[in-house]
Chains A and B, each alone.
Chain A
């Protein structure tokens, strides 16, 4: 009896320490977000005062409407959303299609090709970015969304791999049975395999959304017309206008840019986490 009590105490003391550590970590991890919220509600000029003000009334919620009205955030939002939706359609359609091919039809040629999929994962984007730019320039696609959208319709190594692994886990008997029943392979893919892949589709959707929404490099090199800017390039452009006199509006715009991912995350945490783990190799 006595021994058990002693053990309990020994077990509980580190728990308190661990909790303190985790809370300290949380404060550091969350602080920039809280601080951004606080600044985004400050009145004109008050964001430059020392000592800094922390959530002091009056709150200027108008900073957010200003970000939409003066800073053109609405436009950037729509542009980014448009690109993200098309990227999601492209990624889900192409990667599931290709993944099905690699999973269900294994022969010599396809296995060699699958090896190239694995190699592509290791290839740094720096090597190909310049050539892609030249290619899109040659077909007159600079300053359009084509370079940001079209490549997603041809599959990406990591996501193809994800779909392939999932399709491999589905017993071959199902495929053979459907074939005997007279269904064509594309129909089996659409009506048997895809309905069984909802978790992977969700993961790929979310991962593609994040990649697309957070993408800065491609929009930066391809888009030159201001009204075509995406959220990241739009924010970069706003920095010049707002940082010196209206930093609270710039921060409000930044908070708005973070919002979609954060809101989505709270609704679909599991898929987010899965997607992030699978996207370890971004290169």
Chain B
């Protein structure tokens, strides 16, 4: 009976075992091997030792792309978590119509990045875009955003668009976290005379910290892997070289220049950076995250 039971178990898990061995396990191993070779799809891979890694790490373009990723990630995470918390706390009140707001905030999350990027490029356009026109009434600007030859303006432009696109997702998550905070704690604080601001910082934020921590870890991982938005927006930018991100470097090396070994080694460098950052965040978790 138990033997038969186990056999049925293997039967149901079989597709996963096949998929895992082909698409994950052997792919990861082969990718590790490739990162130590020179390979262009046509000749067999040639072992070159650490040469790829040395070339990649001494190439300034890797460091500019890490810089861009970190600036992008920082602005994006800051805006999303900050605005996401405020809006989620606002939406958490028992009020009429919060459902409609929630629905509308969530819309950008679902739409394709290419279409969103085209719309934002049109809004950003320095010669006929509506954003500069609107900002001119406030006496701000004009800016060139993603059309700029300045890397910082470009990265900020992409980060703003992405913060907008992903905000609904963050709100959704924070709302979930808020729903777990018991009303009793809040009422007790009120009885003790805590105002809304005090309540937010002394109760809501600490009790939300596990949710915020989770979102931060995921956010850092996603930021390091960013590709689509930078690839799309870079097509209308003025400069090419200093607005790349790590994802763009991997894409170009592997699929445009056919340097698959170099591409793999960049992918592993970015994976190691990602692992180290996640580890650091895990260490900080003990100090800053409050588990009720």
Contacts and interface: CB of A to CB of B under 8 A. Distances in A.
Dominant secondary structure at the B interface: helix
B176 to A, nearest CB: 7
Given A21-B87, A22-B91, A33-B107, A126 B225 contact: yes
Dominant secondary structure at the A interface: helix
Interface string A247-273: 100110111011001100110010011
B16 A277 contact: no
B101 A124 contact: no
Contacts of B193: none
Contacts of A210: 110
Interface in B17-38: 17-20, 22-24, 26-28, 30-31, 34
A171 interface: no
A66 B176 CA distance: 44
Interface stretch (B3-11, B49-57, B150-158, B279-287): B3-11
Contacts of A132: 23, 27
Nearest to B8: A185
A105 B164 contact: no
Interface in A2-53: 14-15, 18-19, 21-22, 25-26, 28-30, 32-33, 35-36, 39, 47-52
A155 B16 contact: yes
A137 B255 CA distance: 12
B20 to A, nearest CB: 6
Contacts of B139: none
> Which of A30, A124, A262, A265 has the most chain B CB atoms inside 10 A of its CB?
A124
Contacts of B20: 113, 116, 120, 154
> Which of A19, A32, A94, A280 has the most chain B CB atoms inside 10 A of its CB?
A32
Contacts of A130: 31, 34, 250, 254, 260, 263-264, 267
A47 B268 CA distance: 45
Contacts of B73: none
Given A151-B23, A185-B8, 19 more contacts: A30-B104, A32-B108, A32-B123, A32-B164, A51-B133, A98-B13, A110-B10, A113-B17, A117-B16, A124-B224, A124-B270, A127-B267, A128-B23, A128-B27, A232-B113, A236-B235, A239-B118, A280-B214, A281-B221
12 contacts: A22-B101, A98-B13, A101-B9, A106-B9, A128-B23, A154-B19, A185-B11, A189-B12, A214-B111, A216-B232, A261-B112, A262-B107
Interface of B: 5-6, 8-13, 15-20, 22-24, 26-28, 30-31, 34, 41, 83, 86-87, 90-91, 93, 95, 97-98, 101, 103-116, 118-120, 122-123, 127-130, 133, 164, 167-169, 172-173, 176, 196, 214, 218, 221-222, 224-225, 227-228, 231-232, 235-236, 246-247, 250-251, 254-255, 260, 263-264, 267-268, 270-271, 274
